[in-house]
Amino acid sequence: MDAQAVIAERKLDSIALQAMLDRLKQDSHCQAIAPATVYCVGGAVRDLLLGRAVHDHDWLVVGSSPQRMLDAGFLPVGRDFPVFLHPKSHEEFALARTERKIGKGYHGFEFYSAPEVSLEEDLKRRDLRINAMAIDAQGGLHDPYAGLSDLRNQVLRHVSEAFREDPVRLLRVARFAARFPSFQIHPETMVFMRDMVRAGETDHWTAERVWHELDQGMAEIKPSALWHCLAECRLKPFDRLSAHEQAMLHQLDLAAAAGSPRGVSWGIFGALASEAFRTSVFAGMKMPRNIRTLCEQIIRHQAVLLQILCSQPFASDGFEQFMDESKPRGNRVKPSLAPLIASFFESIDLMRRPNQLQDLLHIMRWHPEFQRQDSLRQDRAIKALEGLAEVYRHSKVDLSESQRALNGPALGAAIRLARELELSKALRTRYPRGIHDEPTQNSEDATRSPETPGL
């Protein structure tokens, strides 16, 4: 089958294919391992035939040996794995190989690599048919397992029964479900995935690998498909996914469609997932410290952020108090906004970690309760809190002589009170009608622009 003809039939851009063929034909290191044949395989071929951008190439070498690769200048990746790095591009070139299951988990394999291993034998060990295609230097498309047909029919289907021997493939299929939301998982493939769970193969994952695969899935087009797939194959704790998580899944998809970064997606998950589901999921993977800290912060502070950003019940002045007509006459007092904001800034360590506020506000934009306001109110509230943060950080702290004599907690309390007074002043002068209104122009404490987000 000719790859150029397939691309023309599907009305795709042939420039990427030509660049791929030029690499295969003109690369001196590839020529040095002749008569071995080099193919482009896997995801690059799949994305090329889908008309998607090709960012990384996987190269397969059939008919060569480790020594011939070394003689041609390729660099070995490891002693026991037949993969080499190109000396200039540092792309991976793998020798054709077969594998045999000898133990539990995704490390329980024995590899066999030799010049006689064929292209078809190598492709047979791959996960999905759409990933088991290859293109040679002449533009020939090799598709022994009908991957092109599955692309046309939008099916995620295993290549062979060997699929269920590698439990990481379960996570990869879930990730592909999020990347290609219009594709359907073949029923037999789902049976194999459930078989892996039932056989205990998934008990041998590492927390680092689970994080890596889930994090990749959260960056795809439709993260909710990742979670639905994991729940459907009855994998614990993802099988606890219920109707209580639908709001979280919906907001994840909206944020992904808007191009939000991964940290925001995990923050949305932390803020909106039920406590039981969130806790069980987090316990099974090893998140980077910065993402875990962000999740912990949004879980801790989302309630007060909603109070501030939807602050109709609050006075705009740090000292003034207003009557709350919803309560009995003797109890009609509304809390003021300045102390609440000052306390929040202290709790997130704004002075030392100003970027954290930007991260939290980015997440809060996707909170359903905050989104109940119209977009103008949302934008004004966010901008106002960013401006007030600058006031708090850069306010002049003028302490009395007696206050300057203080030390320890007492001095810290005096400084915090002085900053709170500056917040109160800014609220009175800029936002006399609340932070959702246009700020007044006579502000004498103009602030600098907010800093770049930390995500």
pLDDT at position 405 is: 61
Please tell me whether residues 148 and 179 are part of one structural domain.
no
pLDDT of 382-419, one tens digit each?
A: 999 999 999 988 877 666 666 656 666 766 677 778 78
Give the pLDDT band (50/70/90) at residue 105: low
pLDDT at position 104 is: 60
Please tell me whether residues 275 and 192 are part of one structural domain.
yes
DSSP notation for 272-317: HS-HHHHHHHHHTS---HHHHHHHHHHHHHHHHHHHHHT-TTSBSS
Please tell me whether residues 360 and 248 are part of one structural domain.
no
In one-letter notation, the amino acid at residue 294 is: L
Please tell me whether residues 34 and 117 are part of one structural domain.
yes
What CATH number does residue 70 fall under?
A: 3.30.460.10
Burial class (CB in 10 A: 0-12, 13-18, 19+), 453: middle
Please tell me whether residues 148 and 170 are part of one structural domain.
no
Rounded to whole angstroms, how far apart are CA atoms 248 and 295? Answer: 14
Would you say residue 51 lies in a domain? yes
Would you say residue 133 lies in a domain? yes
CB 114 within 8 A of CB 65: yes
Would you say residue 13 lies in a domain? yes
Please tell me whether residues 269 and 177 are part of one structural domain.
yes
Rounded to whole angstroms, how far apart are CA atoms 291 and 32? Answer: 46
Rounded to whole angstroms, how far apart are CA atoms 310 and 320? Answer: 19
Q: Quote the radius of gyration of the chain (alpha carbons, Å).
A: 29
Rounded to whole angstroms, how far apart are CA atoms 89 and 93? Answer: 11
> Which of these, 116, 70, 75, 89, lies nearest to 26 by C-alpha position?
89
- The total of structural domains in the chain comes to 3
Please tell me whether residues 260 and 133 are part of one structural domain.
no
Would you say residue 334 lies in a domain? no
What CATH number does residue 190 fall under?
A: 1.10.3090.10
Q: Which of 153, 178, 213 is the last residue of a domain?
A: 153
Is a pLDDT exceeding 50 seen at residue 313?
no
> Which of these, 260, 205, 247, lies nearest to 230 by C-alpha position?
205
Would you say residue 45 lies in a domain? yes
Would you say residue 232 lies in a domain? yes
Is a pLDDT exceeding 70 seen at residue 265?
yes
Please tell me whether residues 30 and 94 are part of one structural domain.
yes
Rounded to whole angstroms, how far apart are CA atoms 195 and 277? Answer: 23
Would you say residue 385 lies in a domain? yes
Q: Which of 102, 119, 153 is the last residue of a domain?
A: 153
Which residue stretches of 331-374 are H helix? 337-347, 355-364, 368-371
Please tell me whether residues 10 and 129 are part of one structural domain.
yes
Would you say residue 94 lies in a domain? yes
Please tell me whether residues 149 and 10 are part of one structural domain.
yes
Please tell me whether residues 196 and 113 are part of one structural domain.
no
Give the pLDDT band (50/70/90) at residue 56: confident
Structure tokens at 154: 């939008």
> Which of these, 156, 235, 157, lies nearest to 200 by C-alpha position?
235
pLDDT at position 165 is: 85
Please tell me whether residues 115 and 248 are part of one structural domain.
no
Sign of CA dihedral 220, 221, 226, 229: negative
Residue 213, domain extent: 165-287
Which residues are bridge partners to 109 per DSSP?
A: 101
Interior angle at CA 126, CA 157 and CA 197, nearest 5: 65
- pTM of the full predicted structure? 0.83
Comparing 36-45, 330-339, 358-367, 390-399, the range with the smallest average pLDDT is 330-339
